[in-house]
Structure formats: structure tokens, C-alpha cells
Structure 1
Amino acid sequence: MSDSPLPETGDEGLLDQVGPALSRLRRRTSGGRGDLTRNLVLNVVHDDPGEMTVGGVAAEMGVAQPVASRTVAACIADGLLRRAVSQEDGRRTVLELTEAGEAERGRFASEQREAFEHITTEWTAAERDQFARFLIRYSQDSSDWSRRTRRDSGTRP
């Protein structure tokens, strides 16, 4: 358990700490920089309800297209992703997870669950469940917000 005091409810700076806290979570619960980036890409491709492109990966990750291209190329070279022809527009190339990519997502999820259980070992079951529900809800709502923002700005993945 952390020795740092938790911010009080109503503390004006509480919400300012959310972004840095999420950043620390991403850095500290991954197997390393390569795993973090690979996990992000695999989840971006998996989570998109439509067809995901390299440009869409760049937009979702908040990085420049060349950065996303290199990361996607590494995932393809490792057999985790494949390029396919869009079913909506045959001129576009989209990304799909391979069986190995799905297995890698499962491995990451298992490692993250283990980290979550270790980190929250002194929490009650109710606290752990509540936090998990809120985190999942936040993730789903942020995905919806991101899609609306992209749609409203006219960018296409």
C-alpha cells in the first residue's frame, strides 16, 4: 500500500491528477516500452468496430503517422497483424489481428490482471470491483468520445 496520502474528495487539484495517474499506470504495468506500444496497437485494432488503418492507429494513439507506421510494421513482421483490403473501399488497406496477435493480447491481459491483483492486494474485494468497473466504464466512454471527436472533425481512421 502506498504511503502517499490520497487526494480528498472536493480537492480542486484532484481531477488534475487523473491524466498523470493514467500515464503512470500505462508505464508501470507493462512489460516494457516495446510491450506497451505493441499492446496499445493490438488493442486499438481489436477495439475498433469498423476497419482500422495505420492512420486510425496514429489518431487513436495520438502519434504521428510515421510513428504508427513503424509500430504497425513491427507488429506485422512479428506476425501479430496483417494487412488486408478494405471491404468498404478496395483502394484502402486495413489492419487485422492474426491468431498470434490475439494470443499476444491475451498474454498482455493476463499480465495486467496479475499486476492489478498485486497492486490492489490490500484493497477489499468491493474496492477492487468498484475500481475495475469505473476503469472499464471510463475506457468505454473515452472510446465513444474519441470516435465522436474524429467524426465531428471529419478525420477517418
Structure 2
Amino acid sequence: MTYSIHILNRMHALYDVRMTSGAESEDDAILDGIGPAFSRLRRRVPTSRRDASRNLILNIVTAGDGEMTVGGVAEELGVDQSVASRMVSDCIAAGHLLRAASQQDGRRTVLKVTPEGAAARDGFAKAQRLAFEEITRDWPAEERLQFARLLLRYVEDGARLRRQEHHEPG
């Protein structure tokens, strides 16, 4: 799954426009609460900061279309390449990733998830599912599944939008 910083920046810009217009409905207040809610949601799964960072990197490398590089990770996270490089190096030191020559361009170095990294990612996913089930334990089953479907759609649409914006000349 991809969490686009660009999408959040766009949401904040829309929020700023609404707030300066002086008209805020109850629906606007609900929609304005999404960003802070996502921040709180991330903290729900009991992991260390390092594990959360590793999980994020593993998901980005796994979900990447084609070959993922450190530069691609930086772009996906919206951070400097040096920050992404440190995060990737931590995953490599933990045995979760390895660097390999690109099969498309031997001059490039790409990232590959190791079997240990795949196992760690699966463990993180299980912990996240357990947290989701705990949080929604009192919800009707259909509401739980509908929310899961909509959340996955939201993430997929965000990734699609980001890819379109990345490939458009600007």
C-alpha cells in the first residue's frame, strides 16, 4: 500500500481554501478530520519506530511497479534521497532487503525483498489486521468489510493519481 504525501498536501490545500471561505459544514468537519485520524491510526499497531519504518519500506519495495530503487523509495515517501538511503540501509542491515543489479539496466541498483523481509512484512500485516479487527470488533461484519474495501480503494486511487501526476509533463 502507498501513502502519498502529495495527496495529504493537496488535502491540506483544500482545507485551507475552505477555512478561508468561512463556510464549513458538518461534512467538511468530518472530512477535515481524516488527516489527523490517519496519524492516530498509524500509532495503533504496537511496533517500534524502527519496525514501522521497515514495514513502510518493505511495502513500498513490494508494491513498486517494476524495479524499485532508493530514489523511487525517496519519491514515494516524499523525503530526500539521503533519508530514504538510511531507511533502506537499515532494512539491508536487518536482512530484509538486498541490493541487486537491474535486469533492465545493469548500471542501476535495485532493491529486492529477501525471504526474511517477506516474513517480516507478513508479520507486520498480521499485526495490522489484528489491530483492525480489534478496533472494529463491535462493528457489523458488513460495515467492517465495506470500510476495508473503501480504504483499499482509497489507497489504490491515491497511488494511481500519484502515478498519473508523476508521468505528466509539468
Q: TM-score range by the shorter chain?
A: 0.7 to 0.9
Is 1:76 matched up with 2:89?
no
Which residue of 1 is the match for residue 21 of structure 2? none
Is 1:108 matched up with 2:124?
yes
How do 1:1-157 and structure 2 match up within 5 A?
Answer: 11-152=27-168
Normalising to structure 2: TM-score of the pair? 0.81
Q: Are the structure 2 counterparts of residues 100 and 51 from structure 1 closer, same or farther at C-alpha, using a change threshold of 3 Å?
A: same
Higher relative contact order (CA 8 A, sep 6+): 2
The answer as to whether partners of 2:55 and 2:121 remain within 8 angstroms in 1 is yes
Which digits, 9 at most, give the CA deviation of each residue in 1:47-97, with x for residues without a partner?
Answer: 012110001101111211111100100100111001011111111100010
Counterparts of 1:39 and 1:144, CA distance in 2:
21
Counterparts of 2:54 and 2:111, CA distance in 1:
14
Structure 2 gaps, min length 5: 1-24
Find the residue that maps to 2:100 and give its secondary structure.
Answer: strand
Counterparts of 1:39 and 1:58, CA distance in 2:
15
Counterparts of 1:114 and 1:87, CA distance in 2:
37
Which digits, 9 at most, give the CA deviation of each residue in 1:25-50, with x for residues without a partner?
Answer: 12222512111111110000000121
Which residue of 2 is the match for residue 6 of structure 1? none
Normalising to structure 1: TM-score of the pair? 0.87
Equivalenced residue count is: 146
Higher helix share: 2
Flag as ranges the 4+ runs of structure 1 deviating above 2 A. 27-30
Counterparts of 2:120 and 2:63, CA distance in 1:
15
Counterparts of 2:46 and 2:75, CA distance in 1:
21
